[in-house]
Amino acid sequence: MFTIGQIAARTGTKVPTVRYYEGIGLLPEAERTAGGQRRYDRAALDRLGFIRHARALGFGLEDIRALLDIEGHGDAHAIAERQLRDVRDRMARLARLESELARIVGSCAGGGGTGPCRVLEALGDHDACAADH
């Protein structure tokens, strides 16, 4: 049996987060000692590990709930594919952002340059942007 601090440490979670997961029903209610403290078995540890790994891969808690609820096959593949599409969308949007920002920052030479800073001006001027955002 593990204390909440132990499963938190083993999965790289903060203690209040573990309680939060229990509160929203992602983790089952833990057993308690006579004094009211939570104690966990290996199954709970593994479940928390799964949750944290899926979080690290960018899944939202509702997706994770769905993944954990799956008995047979069915939805897991679709959820993962959707997540992959989401990540790729975000990458594309970030790439457009990055190119505008790089242009804006590059529009003046920086603190030590000769002229005044053009950054503020460039930030206000969407007409100079190439992509939509």
Partner DNA sequence: TATAATCCCTCTAGTGACTAGAGCTTCAAG
Partner DNA sequence: CTTGAAGCTCTAGTCACTAGAGGGATTATA
Q: Interface with DNA by CB under 7 A: which residues?
A: 3-6, 8, 14-17, 19-20, 30, 33-38, 55, 60-62
The structure tokens 């206000």 sit at 124
Would you say 33 or 97 has its CB closer to its own copies?
97
Residue 115 C-beta: closest distance to DNA, Å: 30
67 close to 79: Cβ distance less than 8 angstroms: yes
Partner that binds at residue 5, options Zn ion, its own copies, DNA, none, CB closer than 5 to 8 Å by kind: DNA
Whole-Å CA distances, 120 to 102, 103, 115, 133: 14, 13, 13, 18
List the beta strands (DSSP E) in 30-89.
Answer: 31-32, 38-39
Sign of dihedral through CA atoms 74, 59, 57, 52? negative
67 binds Zn ion (CB under 5 A): no
Q: Which residues bind its own copies (CB under 8 A)?
A: 46, 49-50, 53-54, 56-58, 67, 70, 73, 76-78, 80-81, 83-84, 87-88, 90-91, 94-95, 97-98, 100-102, 104-105, 108, 110-111, 116-117, 119-120, 123-124, 126, 133
The answer for residues whose C-beta is within 8 angstroms of residue 59's C-beta and 6 or more apart is: 67, 79, 83
| Binding stretches for Zn ion (CB under 5 A) | 77, 108, 117, 119, 126, 129
